[in-house]
Chain A
Amino acid sequence: MTSVTMPETGGPGDGSVILRCEGITKAFQGVHAVNGAAFDVVKGQVTALIGPNGAGKTTLVNILSGSMTCDRGHEFIGGTEVTNWPSHRIARLGLMRTFQLSRELGGLTVLENLLVAPHQQPGESLFNVFFRPRLVKRQERAYVERALDLLDTYGLYRLRDNRAGELSGGQKKLLEISRAVMVSPQVLLLDEPMAGVNPALIDRIGGYILDLQRSGVTVLMIEHNLNVVEQICDHVIVLAEGRTLATGRLSELRQNEQVVKAYLGEVIDAGTDR
């Protein structure tokens, strides 16, 4: 295995826009972290969100997933406006996310981290727990089956009964991705899924992302490693000072003087040997 060349068309999808943001703006104590960011994410593609440190990438992911509200702008998921919806409602529309610094549910086991993910489980209603126990049990078994399969796929099966807080950094990254995948998301926002993990694991996570794309999941990922972006991303969005500086394929962006000046230059100099 050396590399995978992505077909021009990407994975499944009809080229329609699944996630759109228009003029998203967010200021902290007068400082604009995001300042009018606007872009589309096409269904079925893997899109990279790149930009220098402080460009507002994580803030943008926080806003898109509802973990934070924005001051101005609009967000649409599959045609529905979801601007400043609370996190849980956005999640229920099928947009799941991971966090830059892994946020595992440390007191739960690895398996439970996945089991907790499905939205609006019948067993979350206490009425069902007491009066329809068979329904709850059946549903639980289905969740457990799926969760164990996923843990198997992601190489975490042996750790299923360990508390998530005991995992290593790389294992926590995998756990977060598998937890988000547990609900078969439409859109997956990955905030630096490969930061701080070893090269072998980077390759594996890349493989998982492509697998997800094949199964129809749209991925938007923040990534600094341009090798990764080049290999697995169909489309790139460059964010600088809270604005969308350019979008396109990485090869095109390399020709863009503005982009090179704002971001690529330094990364190409410093980042390729990473």
Chain B
Amino acid sequence: MSGTWYYIFTLAFFLFDYFILAMGLNIQYGETGILNFAYIGFVAIGAYVTGVLSLPSSAGTGQYYILGLSLPFPVNLLLGGLTASAFAVLVALIALRRLRTDYLAMVLISLSLVLYDVCNNYVPLFNGADGLYNVPEPFAAALKLNTNSFIPFFAAVTGVIALFMWFVMSRVTRSPAGRTFRAIRDDEVVAAALGKDVFRQQLKSMLIGSFYAGIGGGLLIQFSGSFNPTAWLPGETFVVFAVILVGGVGNNIGLLVGALLVETLLVHLPAFLPAIPGAPGLIEYFDAVLIGVLLMVMLWFRPQGVVPERARRAASFGVKARLGTAAGELAEHVGSARAPQATTEPVALTTEGSGP
């Protein structure tokens, strides 16, 4: 396989994977309004758990890690996602309840750093700073794939998974449950006054979003065969935020566009550029600066993103339209062609005003 195709399939993989990650953060932040600055921590949990479940027992591998159960591919991935969800419940029980936005954001970003710190320092857990490597490539043995053919194969697998997860997510966001999430995002106090158990709904949203994070992380480690702490410093959370804010908060198509623009074009394409002699890493630094600047420019000029959230129109419910004549339209609403005709009788309450 030529180098170009290798790049293209690698980029395709990251596009699909970050689409999944973006959907997970979007349901938390974009739909429910939870500013989860620890998002990348949940991705890491999914990656590590997926990894150690597919790796053989650690004795004799030169690595140190827990479990090592040699589980086959989709099973380890699912368990990775579920572990991330379980962890989200724990976090939510401690932090989400009764903390206002900025407290929560501080606690979560701290959590992200502490997870990093523990994984980086405590070797017996996930092999410390070296991270996991030599993670078995799914189906490679069964399908006799070599390193070259594995990349397009796994990019396609990830594409199928992303498609399925997109289908599931759009069902969730278009359902009454999604509507309730958005009500909480817009105003928690109002949602509670409308009988919504805000904490319970946020918990649900955390759970779903973290599952997506875990799956996205699991696919990452399966694709590259390795995962180490430098891959998930808190700044990485920002990249996922950039994906959803650039693409369009609350719109699944927008997330795909965001993943393409930010993750594929800005994060990964420059990695294939030749390094500037004498200045190692300079391209990556500028790249990160560029992402930060792009995000601010987007927020300022187009806060709804490239593809904005769509409004759910009345017609889409398949209910017969009204004539719209029962009560007078408000005078403030311009463009009312029809004469108002009241059935509800106004009461003359003001000295100068009277009903029509």
Q: Which A residues are within 8 Å of any B CB, using their own CB?
A: 1-4, 65-67, 86-88, 91-92, 96-97, 99, 103, 105-109, 111-112, 115-117, 119-126, 129-130, 136, 140-141, 144-145, 148-149, 151-155, 157-161, 163, 168, 170-171, 174, 179, 183, 194, 198-204, 206-208, 210-211, 225, 227-228, 231-232, 272-274
> CB distance A88 to B175 under 8 Å?
no
Please determine whether B176 and A121 come into contact, CB atoms closer than 8 angstroms: yes
Contact: A157 with B324, CB < 8 Å? yes
B318 CB–A CB distance under 8 Å: yes
A171's closest neighbor in chain B, by CB? B330
List the A side residues contacting B177 at CB < 8 Å.
Answer: 123-126, 129
**Size class of the contact patch on chain B:** 35 or more
| CA of A91 to CA of B193, assembled, Å | 6
Contact (A112, B312) CB under 8 Å given A103-B189, A141-B318, A171-B332: yes
B309, CB-defined interface residue at 8 Å: yes
Can you list 17 A-B contacts with CB-CB less than 8 angstroms, sorted by A residue number? A2-B354, A67-B193, A88-B194, A91-B194, A96-B194, A116-B183, A129-B172, A140-B317, A141-B317, A149-B322, A152-B323, A152-B325, A155-B327, A158-B333, A201-B330, A204-B328, A207-B355
Given the complex of chains A and B, what is the CA–CA distance between A123 and B171 in angstroms?
Answer: 11
Q: Roughly how many angstroms separate A123 CA and B178 CA in the complex, as a whole number?
A: 9
List B contacts of A96 (CB < 8 A). Answer: 193-194
| CB <8 Å contact, B195 and A202 | no
The verdict on A207 contacting B195 (CB below 8 Å), with A107-B186, A129-B171 known, is: no
Verify A207–B346 contact, CB threshold 8 A.
yes
Is B311 an interface residue when CB atoms closer than 8 A count as contact?
yes
User: Complex Cα distance A206/B323, Å?
Assistant: 24
Residue of A nearest to B331 (CB): A200
| A87 and B194 alpha carbons, distance in the complex (Å) | 8
Among listed B100-108, B196-204, B217-225, B291-299, interface-contacting one: B196-204
A144 CA to B326 CA in the complex, in Å? 17
Given A65-B193, A91-B195, A157 and B326 contact (CB-CB distance below 8 Å): yes
Whether the pair A126, B172 counts as a contact (CB closer than 8 A) is yes
Verify B314–A200 contact, CB threshold 8 A.
Answer: no
Bound CA span A96–B220, Å: 48
B353 contacts A by Cβ under 8 Å: yes
Contacts of A123 in B (CB 8 A): 175-177
- Chain B residue contacts of A116, Cβ below 8 A: 176, 179-180, 182-183, 191, 194, 196
User: Would B353 and A3 count as touching, CB distance under 8 A?
Assistant: no
In the bound complex, residues from chain A placing their C-beta under 8 Å from that of B182 are 105, 107-108, 112, 116
B window 333-356: CB within 8 A of A: 333, 336, 340, 342-356
The reply to whether B345 and A1 form a contact with Cβ atoms under 8 Å apart is yes
Instruction: Judge if B190 is at the interface, Cβ distance under 8 Å.
Output: yes
Q: How far is the CA of A183 from the CA of B196 in the complex (A)?
A: 13
- What is the minimal beta-carbon distance from A118 to any residue of chain B, in angstroms? 8
Q: Is the CB of B344 within 8 A of A108?
A: no
Instruction: Name the residue among A130, A157, A168, A227 with the largest chain B CB count within 10 angstroms.
Output: A157
> In the docked arrangement, what's the CA distance between A207 and B356, Å?
12
A116-B179, A204-B355 given as contacts; is B192 within 8 A of A86 (CB)? Answer: yes
Q: How far is it, in angstroms, between the C-alpha of A242 and the C-alpha of B80 when the chains are bound?
A: 55
A203 B348 Cβ-Cβ under 8 A: yes
Contact B179 A228 (CB under 8 A): no
Output the least CB separation between A239 and chain B (Å).
Answer: 21
Expressed in whole angstroms, the Cα–Cα distance for A273 and B351 within the complex equals 8
A179 to B195 Cα, complex, angstroms? 12
User: Closest A-chain residue to B346, C-beta based?
Assistant: A203
